Amino acid sequence: MIRPHGSDSLTALLVKDLVRRAALEAQAVKLPQLIISSAAAANAVMLGAGYFTPLTGFMNKADALSVATDMRTSDGLFWPVPVLNLVADGHGIAVGSRITLRDPNVSGDPVIAIQEVEAVEELTDEEIDLITQKVYRTGDPGHPGVATFSSLGKFVISGPIEVLNLSYFESEFPDTFRTAGQIREEIAERGWETVVAFQTRNPMHRAHEELCKIASDTVGADGVLIHMLLGKLKPGDIPAEVRDAAIRKMVDLYFPSNSVMIGGYGFDMLYAGPREAVLHALFRQNAGCTHLIVGRDHAGVGDFYGAFDAQEIFDEEVPSDALDIEIFRADHTAYSKKLNRVVMMRDAPDHQKEDFVLLSGTRVREMLAAGEDLPLEFARPEVARILMDHYAEDAAQVA
On whether the CB atoms of residues 142 and 102 are closer than 8 A, the answer is no
Sorted by sequence, the CB contacts under 8 Å of residue 138 that are 6+ apart come out as 132, 146, 304
CATH of domain 18-170: 3.10.400.10
Half-sphere exposure of 147 (CA within 13 A, CB side): 10
How far apart, in whole angstroms, are the C-alpha atoms of residue 173 and residue 175? 6
CATH of domain 175-398: 3.40.50.620
How confident is the model over 242-268, as pLDDT tens digits? Answer: 999 999 999 999 999 999 999 999 999
How confident is the model over 61-120, as pLDDT tens digits? Answer: 999 999 999 999 999 999 999 999 999 999 999 999 999 999 999 999 999 999 999 999
Same topology, domains 18-170 and 175-398? Answer is no
Half-sphere exposure of 95 (CA within 13 A, CB side): 7
Say which of 201, 275, 284, 329 is annotated catalytic.
Answer: 201
Say which of 72, 190, 202, 248 is annotated catalytic.
Answer: 202
Half-sphere exposure of 282 (CA within 13 A, CB side): 29
Sign of CA dihedral 332, 337, 343, 348: negative
pLDDT value at 238 more than 90? no
Strand partners, 264: 177, 228
**Residue 399: per-residue pLDDT:** 56
How confident is the model over 288-320, as pLDDT tens digits? Answer: 999 999 998 899 999 999 999 999 999 999 999
**Residue 395: per-residue pLDDT:** 67
Residue-averaged pLDDT of the chain = 94
**Residue 271: per-residue pLDDT:** 96
Q: What is the average pLDDT across 157-178?
A: 96
**Residue 313: per-residue pLDDT:** 98
**Residue 198: per-residue pLDDT:** 98
On whether the CB atoms of residues 224 and 196 are closer than 8 A, the answer is yes
**Residue 239: per-residue pLDDT:** 87
Strand partners, 163: 14, 113
Q: Where are the domains of the chain?
A: 18-170, 175-398
Sign of CA dihedral 112, 288, 198, 260: negative
pLDDT value at 398 more than 70? no
pLDDT value at 128 more than 80? yes
Sorted by sequence, the CB contacts under 8 Å of residue 309 that are 6+ apart come out as 273, 274, 300
> pLDDT-derived band of residue 397, with 50, 70 and 90 as boundaries?
low
Q: What is the average pLDDT across 342-364?
A: 82
Q: Catalytic annotation on 201?
A: yes
CA distances from 3 to 169, 293, 323, 344 (A): 26, 19, 10, 31
Least confident of 15-24, 125-134, 247-256, 365-374: 365-374
Q: Catalytic annotation on 258?
A: no
